Chain A
């Protein structure tokens, strides 16, 4: 990578004192990137775009939103009816949240398939999990703000999860509520935190990118870059590819915003919060459903079945532990996965385990949307069991016993057909 020379005297003056232009040039223009990245590598920059859209639309919404239990619902209705383009900005923010999770799930499952979490990208992966957790918290807090029935009862159910903490549970829940139930102080606090967390995510994204640029992107073969022939500059190759993907994404995103804005929402949230009436069937937003299924899958007689657990952990507690563990275990994946080969393209057994795990997670999502009874409960329990079996047993074992396919010699040899005589590409 060469140090750029700046012609514009103002740019030159600034860059000599604060090399911001050199930094941009190195990290977004010249940045050497594996030449074989497929469209699954679009989602990172797409997530950055969505984050900016969410922050921008959120700041505009907060200009007309009132974080007060008796005014919040009406202020949202005022945004929808009276504020110029308020309906558009709110629908962008609402559907943007769902898009954020669709894209982040694709991004995470990309990492799982191509083994992007493996050495030397463990920290990159863990920071990603932290971003994911912060996103979940932000989304939950934001869902409470319109102060509809689902907002209120979702907040009640989720905050009550913390009551399972031994000894201090009730004290912590009272602290979360700043009162004895979800009420005005809770709403104020949630609004404050909902405004704060996106900026924390923004900071984490920079650390994520810093870690990414230290060792560069993984790639579909999962093998390391071996020389200049394996790489191409980020601009214009991946800026153009990302821009194309962005256009494709916007068609889908705005398709929902303009033609099915409430597709991902719950009708009950257009009823103002009422602390005296619980809706008959409380469901979280779709992106939380797999974890909700895990939470409810743990049997009530958990202690009787698993007698070795300490008495201070009742069934409710076990459910909560399993739910948080299902995400936190992902952070341990770089060490749970014992295979040296990254990409599932060269791991015939893991390839199938990967797809079963993906389908199992989708099944958990469906189960989370159904009442926890009958066949759904059974399926939920089996799926939960398999989720942990995959991460804790199958992944460590398969790495030891799997016979992997031979890896290509280099990235360039994997993408250039054998008949070519390795002529140096003009622009590599």
Chain B
């Protein structure tokens, strides 16, 4: 920085070396800043206690045929319906060509009697009606979303209205005849 008249050597600048030092410093600094930012970003992902609640276990022995119950799973409603023989027959009789989101009833259930669905309309996230006896069930006797008029059938498939997809089927398994773990 301070050059004196006694300095014999002429000051030379090696630009390549300077560029290398400059860019490597910037790079290391940027990587360090990103590494430091990651814990802050990741802290906003689901925490361990939230993940621990990611599965729900239920005893279905008290559910009668033709009755539905609503369970909570990951903060969302899950519709569990013990279908009647008529409903199963109706669901199985539909041709795939008639469906907006073609899927056979067999692909949507593990046991014909038990239909398990995430009870959230695939249009904009409202909860369809049809769980209780007196509810509006829509034109296909399944569920009806009051927000924008989507009709679902007895397999939870979209039949009419703006929703693009069938009601989601969550991952689940039966541990015995009537005990189910969702998630």
Contacts and interface: CB of A to CB of B under 8 A. Distances in A.
A12 B161 CA distance: 53
Given A64-B47, A82-B50, 18 more contacts: A64-B43, A81-B48, A83-B47, A84-B39, A84-B42, A84-B43, A84-B45, A86-B43, A86-B47, A416-B2, A419-B6, A420-B5, A421-B5, A423-B3, A423-B4, A425-B3, A426-B11, A427-B1
Interface residues on B, range: 10 to 19
Contacts of A405: none
Interface string A386-428: 0000000000000000000000000000001001110101110
A56 interface: yes
Contacts of B39: 84-85, 88-89
Given A78-B47, A81-B48, A425 B40 contact: no
Contacts of A232: 1
Overall SS of chain B's interface: loop
Give the top 10 A-B pairs by smallest Cβ distance, nearest first. A85-B39, A82-B48, A82-B49, A82-B47, A420-B4, A83-B47, A84-B42, A421-B5, A85-B43, A425-B2
A316 B2 CA distance: 60
A60 interface: yes
Contact of B2 (A63, A86, A237, A420): A420
Interface residues of A, number: 24
Interface string B1-44: 11111100001000000000000000000000000000110111
Contacts of B1: 232, 237, 425, 427
Nearest to A421: B5
Contacts of A85: 39-40, 42-43
B43 A426 contact: no
B48 A423 contact: no
A232 B3 CA distance: 15
Contacts of A89: 39-40, 43
A60 B6 CA distance: 57
8 contacts: A60-B44, A82-B47, A83-B48, A85-B42, A89-B39, A419-B4, A421-B4, A426-B11
A78 B39 CA distance: 16
